[in-house]
Amino acid sequence: MLDLVVLIAMAVTAVALAAGLIVQAGIPQITAIIAAAALYLVMAASYIVVARPSHAGDTDRLDQLEGALEVIDSDLQRIDRVENDIARLGQAFRDVPGGHARIEELAAELETVHARIEGLRADLEVETRSQREKISSDLGTLESLIKQLSRDLTVPGAAVAATSSVQPKASTPEPEGEEEEFALASSGEDLTLDEEFETVIAAVADILDGGEGAEIVESETVLTVTETIETVAVAEEDIADAAADRAVEEGMLGTLHQAIEAGRVDLYLQPIVTLPARRVRYYEGVTRIRDGDDELILPGAYLPEAESAGIMPLVDNVLLVKSVQVLRRRGSQSKVKGLFSNISMASLLDPDYFPELVEFMEENSGLSESLIFELRQPEIMGLTRSELDSLDTLGALGFNFSLNHVVDLDIDYIGLSDRYFRFIKLDAPTFLDGMEEKGAPLPPADMVRYLEGFGLQLIVEKVEDEAVVARLVDAGVELAQGNLFAEPKPVTPALFAELEDADAA
């Protein structure tokens, strides 16, 4: 537009010049028009030569500024998402994916569980009281029997003492003393049930030392007392175990809450190397949570509580975001092909979190070839077709999956491949010595090529010694993982330096 305005102004100037020459100087029209045209061409050419490069430079600068603004806008959006994630993490138990309704539902479920535990406690207390009353009744019966026994034994003991002149005089316990002793022992005011029972048995043993009247003891009553005491003990142990389990669970959830709120959810990386060269080809990202004393909590300790409390999407989201950050810092010439990120099926089935996950993955679709989601086989076994659609959604964006914690090798490998699974992980003991037990169709030496026929690459994990490595190489295994090569390490500048070394390898 500016060019057009300038050219029009030049044309007006040239016409004015021609009119002035004709009217004021009396120059012929043809000559004046030629002179005006010449002037216009000179002005236009000068403008094009002088003004256009500067204008082009301004245009390029403007394009650069617009590009920079787009980058800034993208960064601001990313910062907003990170802030939102931090806010969500900071409200782990108030703002979990699913909203207020979900947290109320969780609270209601916890109240229900608490009410059931309290109900069980009350029932057990009632049962305990009932059993104690029954024990008291049985002890009363036993007391009467012992009193009767003591009376019966007093007369025969005295007769034997009076008529025997050769044998030593038999010592016969006095009934009144025994009755008084037993009454004190059986009162139970200051003794536990076990002590009461032991006292009763001791009294019976003392009375029967002479071997007289053993047939009078009611063994069934003693058995009943024993069974009753055992029942009460079991009930009390159940209450104690339930209370202990509840305390552990509440303690772990509290630790998780504090760790998420304080940002103590860390990403650890463990390399997956090629065999036999042992060059880093992939990394597996795992979550490590630190408690208030900076002690590590391994997944086996917190996963059950996190899954039952419905906060796995929060934990998985931290791992995923940090994994994406690591991949973005990876050089374009890196020899490290990708990163395995563990994710729970609970997160993929969460109706509130999954749409956010899909949106995040769409924004990072450029990492689809280097980010592999890792799922545990027990989590996907028995799922319906509709529940597995989440895998198809991520697969359609270009992302692939890895199957670990494999418990059954007699599976549909074609179906796995159709669901975008490209890797299977087996631990070294299973691969080398437990394939038949897991239902593998072939021995280890043939299993690698068999899986490749379905587009699945085998990774043998938990490799701990050199002897295992030699057997894996003989079996044709190309990828391995384990503490022998490197233990999981936190993402630190030092680890990024190792990544650069891996890039140069």
CA dihedral 70, 73, 78, 84 (to 10 degrees): -160
The reported pLDDT for the residue numbered 241 is 58
- The whole-number pLDDT of residue 156 equals 44
Range from 1-15, 239-253, 300-314 that averages highest in pLDDT: 300-314
The DSSP string of 247-289 is HHHHHHHHHHHHHHHTT-EEEEEEEEEETTT--EEEEEEEEEE
Instruction: Report which of residues 378 and 304 the model is more confident about.
Output: 378
Question: Is pTM beyond 0.85 here?
Answer: no
Percent of the chain exceeding pLDDT 70 equals: 57
- β-partners of residue 423 are 402, 457
pLDDT at 25: 76
| 174 pLDDT above the threshold of 50 | no
Do the beta carbons of residue 422 and residue 398 sit within 8 Å?
no
For residues 305 and 293, give the distance between their C-alpha atoms in angstroms, rounded to a whole number.
20
- The residues, any chain, with a CB within 8 Å of residue 491's CB and separated by 6 or more, are 266, 267, 268, 269, 322, 326
Query: Which one is predicted more confidently, 18 or 176?
Result: 18
Predicted confidence band at 255 (pLDDT cuts at 50, 70, 90)? confident
Mean pLDDT of all residues in 175-183: 45
Question: Does residue 124 have a pLDDT over 90?
Answer: no
Please report, as a single letter, which amino acid is at residue 398. G
pLDDT at residue 117, rounded to an integer: 59
Query: Does the pLDDT at position 457 exceed 90?
Result: yes
18 contacts 35 by C-beta, under 8 angstroms: yes
Mean pLDDT of 223-242: 56
- What local confidence, expressed as pLDDT, does residue 90 receive? 53
Confidence of residue 34 (pLDDT cuts 50, 70, 90): confident
Which has the higher per-residue pLDDT, 1 or 20?
Answer: 20
* pLDDT greater at residue 303 or residue 369: 369
Average pLDDT, the chain: 74
Sequence length of the chain is 505
Q: Which of 55-64, 300-309, 327-336 comes out lowest in average pLDDT?
A: 55-64
* Chain centroid to CA 320: 12
Query: Which of the two residues, 257 and 453, has the higher pLDDT score?
Result: 453
Q: Which of 197-201, 204-208, 439-443 has the highest mean pLDDT?
A: 439-443
**Residue 244, amino acid:** A
Residue whose entry in the numeric block shows the structure tokens 């059993």: 131
Per-residue pLDDT tens for 132-163? 666 666 666 666 665 665 555 444 443 334 33
Tokens of 438: 């897991």
